[in-house]
Amino acid sequence: MIELYLTDGPETRVVQEIKDWTWIKLTAPTDKEVQRVAAALPGLDKDDLMAANDPEEKTRLVHEDAYSLILVDVPAREIRHDIETYHTIPLGIILMPRNVITVCAEDTQVLTPFHAGRVRGFSTRMRISFIYQILLRTSLLYQQALTVVDRKRTEFEGRIQSMTDERDLLRLHELESTLVYFATSLRGNGGVLTRLAHSERLKPGPEDEEILEDAIVENQQAVEMAQIYQDIIDGTRDLMSSVMDSRLNNVMQRLTSITLILSIPTIISGLYGMNVDLNWMPLALTPHGFGIICALTSVVCVILAIWLVRRGWM
């Protein structure tokens, strides 16, 4: 999908043709759309236009003769194992002499506020400022996503005593995977931001420099948040393992106690079932001997059960 935006005066509006100062927003572009953009902007490499469609593309900053390409990773929601979680996808930003092109495989929340008019001072004519605003918005979106992940982790800990389902293990695994993706992508984004700060070609003005510094600071803060939450989730996994081990120990202890109680009637019935002279078997010839033996066996089992309960083994 291709969308074209142009800032005229205080408002940013949708336009139908690619002209000077147009923001060209490509979302999962088709070959026809890529050819249209490449034809309207001479010197633009089609491969660079399609780079962000590849989920394996690495973050980087590349300067060509006619343009500069910035590739960063942005967070996106997805469903894995029927569980809502996050992953990261590449966002390509191409800076032309009079245009900015953004390319992404999904309609990312990073860009939505710009054409929705929710970013103060945004203009498609201020190309450098626009790029740095996108990068700042990316860092802030990572922080929001990390806050959601931590909230899910807190809810997970609150339910840890009642967990009996393998789905709970999958939830914890997805949280861990999300943090790994985030930490890797944030470090890559940090490298791009550092290169931008030292780039003569994309040197920011006085106002833009503050936006870039904010983006660097927020990205570093997101890196630290991801690391902290990873450490906390490691502790949560250890806690969960301890709870499951304790639960297993309790079950084994109860089963052992039950086995011990049941062994008493088994031993007595085994002794009385042996082929020996009845005269040598206590109560064998006594009237109601069978009932007496059963009663005595029950009393012994009850006494043993009470003793095990008091010891905390049942």
Distance separating alpha carbons of residues 294 and 241, to the nearest angstrom: 44
Q: Which residue has the higher pLDDT, 214 or 244?
A: 214
CATH 3.20.20.140 describes domain 2-246: no
CA nearest neighbour of 92 among 62, 113, 69, 109? 69
CATH 1.20.58 residue window(s) in the chain: 247-310
- Predicted confidence (pLDDT) per residue in 59-104, tens digit: 999 988 888 999 999 999 887 767 778 889 999 999 998 899 999 9
Residue 165 and residue 240 in contact, taking contact as beta carbons nearer than 8 Å: no
Rounded to 5°, angle at Cα 123 from 121 and 125? 140
State mean pLDDT over 222-243.
Answer: 85
pLDDT (0 to 100) of residue 89: 92
List the single range of 61-70, 106-115, 155-164, 166-175 with lowest mean pLDDT. 155-164
Going by their DSSP bridges, the two strands 100-104 and 22-27 should be labelled as parallel
Residue 26 and residue 2 in contact, taking contact as beta carbons nearer than 8 Å: yes
Distance separating alpha carbons of residues 162 and 183, to the nearest angstrom: 30
Residue 95 and residue 131 in contact, taking contact as beta carbons nearer than 8 Å: yes
What lies within 8 Å, CB to CB, of 293 at 6+ separation is 268, 272, 283
pLDDT (0 to 100) of residue 170: 78
pLDDT (0 to 100) of residue 182: 92
| Axis-axis angle for helices 206-272, 289-310 (nearest 10) | 150
Number of Cβ within 10 Å of residue 42's Cβ equals 8
At residue 116 the predicted structure's pLDDT band, cuts being 50, 70 and 90, is confident
pLDDT (0 to 100) of residue 239: 77
State mean pLDDT over 103-124.
Answer: 86
What single letter denotes the amino acid at residue 240? M
Q: Tell which CATH classification among 1.10.10, 1.20.58, 3.30.1370, 1.25.40 matches the domain 247-310.
A: 1.20.58
Distance separating alpha carbons of residues 211 and 119, to the nearest angstrom: 13
Distance separating alpha carbons of residues 306 and 91, to the nearest angstrom: 68
CATH 3.30.460.20 residue window(s) in the chain: 2-246
Residue 145 and residue 86 in contact, taking contact as beta carbons nearer than 8 Å: yes
State mean pLDDT over 214-230.
Answer: 92
Query: Residue 165 pLDDT more than 70?
Result: no
What single letter denotes the amino acid at residue 186? L
pLDDT (0 to 100) of residue 142: 94
pLDDT (0 to 100) of residue 189: 93
Residue 110 and residue 74 in contact, taking contact as beta carbons nearer than 8 Å: yes
- Cα dihedral 46, 51, 54, 60, rounded to 10, equals 170
